[in-house]
Amino acid sequence: MHFTQADHEYMALAIELAKQGQYTTTPNPNVGCVLVKNEKIIGQGFHIQAGGPHAEVHALREAQGKTQGATAYVTLEPCSHYGRTPPCAKGLIDAGVKKVICAMVDPNPQVAGNGIKMLEQAGIETAYGLLEHEARALNKGFLKKMETGKPYVIAKLAASLDGKTALQNGQSKWITGPIARQDVQSFRAQSCAVLSGADTVLVDDAKLNVRASEFKDFELVDNLAQLRQPIRVIIDTQNRLHPNLSLFSQESKIIILRTKLDKQHQWPHFVEQVCLPEFKGKLDLHAAIEYLATQNINQVWLEAGATLCGAMHEQKLIDEYIIYMAPKIIGEGGRGLFKSSVLTEMAQIPEFKITECVQVGTDIRISATTK
């Protein structure tokens, strides 16, 4: 199907609407919908929260029954099954729309083209593929989980211009500026889980939560006091964590991954210990990622030290790298980004594709994926 300039503009609006749910929809996808009739927008909406009305429902409600003969622009194929809400495809059929344009087909096996099929069987014209690249970027975690069964892992790294993360003595606060640290809060808030290691928690006494005081997207969250906290997942194979750490001062779910249960401490009710198998004397990281997938976790924000990041990197468990580069030089003796095997051939060096490079305050944020 040939898409017009107007089609592009309406779908671009639907994508912007979908972004408004990025801190609240997990584990559901971010979806936006725009209803157009006689070249005028009559309704629009986005999915706000899992279990609540989908984007199409919000748009239909705003249209107030004026949808006969309208065109719907949706960033993801309308659902065709009964879950916690009725099928959106049926809602569009009942509303009398004449055309539905989707940015992409939903890879969820419960949908996977069935929504489009349901619409077509009702005599509604359909098309998909409009701004699909932009639509996929909305839901990296949801899509990877549906397509592979595993969550999308993003590694957050911060370094000086010469690639150092800390002084030789371990001091690292603060390499980057306050605007970059606010930026990190937004990425944490978008993620289902924050993954780290015991070293990071112990050395920094880190909370690894989303801090309302540093959260910048105020307009996208109605009540900062109720800001959804990602699950904090800590790998602690030597059972060094203890309940007096700042990590446990905020009541939100924490999963401690171990190879042997800690029976020494009395843990708060929101803390769960999970034992996983070993691999070469350490916790099996592949098993860890597979376990997180079973916990309805689509997107993982890896915020850890050089040892864990290096191991995840070597085992090809990272999908995307977000590196904050500060305009500083630490010099010889500073600690590097990764601890990993020493390479001996240039051909062994993995190449990456830089997908974004933007200035964030005084720092540069580089996003890269494996080729």
More confident position, 262 or 232: 232
Residues contacting residue 199 through CB under 8 Å, at least 6 positions apart: 304, 305, 307, 308
More confident position, 106 or 110: 106
More confident position, 71 or 111: 71
Angle at 146 between CA 320 and CA 235, to 5 degrees: 55
Residues contacting residue 76 through CB under 8 Å, at least 6 positions apart: 29, 31, 102, 103, 104, 106, 135, 139
- Mean pLDDT, range 147-154, rounded to an integer: 96
* pLDDT at site 167: 77
The neighbour count for residue 65, using CB atoms within 10 Å, is: 10
Q: 285, 292, 290: which is closest to 259 by C-alpha?
A: 285
User: What does the H/E/C string look like for the chain?
Assistant: CCCCHHHHHHHHHHHHHHHCCCCCCCCCCCCEEEEEECCEEEEEEECCCCCCCCHHHHHHHHHCCCCCCCEEEECCCCCCCCCCCCCHHHHHHHHCCCEEEECCCCCCCCCCCHHHHHHHHCCCEEEECCCHHHHHHHCHHHHHHHHHCCCEEEEEEEEECCCEEECCCCCCCCCCCHHHHHHHHHHHHHCCEEEEEHHHHHHHCCCCCCCHHHCCCHHHCCCHHHCCCCEEEEECCCCCCCCCCHHHHCCCCEEEEECCCCCCCCCCCCEEEEECCEECCEECHHHHHHHHHHCCCCEEEECCCHHHHHHHHHCCCCCEEEEEEECCCCCCCCEECCCCCCCCCHHHCCCEEEEEEEEECCEEEEEEEEC
- Mean pLDDT, range 86-112, rounded to an integer: 89
* pLDDT at site 217: 64
Structure-block tokens of residue 37: 């009739």
* pLDDT at site 357: 97
Q: What is the pLDDT of residues 177-208, one digit of tens each?
A: 999 999 999 999 999 999 999 999 998 899 99
- Mean pLDDT, range 111-136, rounded to an integer: 91
- Mean pLDDT, range 258-281, rounded to an integer: 93
Q: 299, 322, 290, 298: which is closest to 309 by C-alpha?
A: 322
**Residue 275, CA atoms < 13 Å, CB-side half-sphere:** 5
Is 39 catalytic? The answer is no
* pLDDT at site 262: 87
Q: 348, 336, 313, 362: which is closest to 154 by C-alpha?
A: 313
Among 56, 77, 303, 320, the active-site one is 56
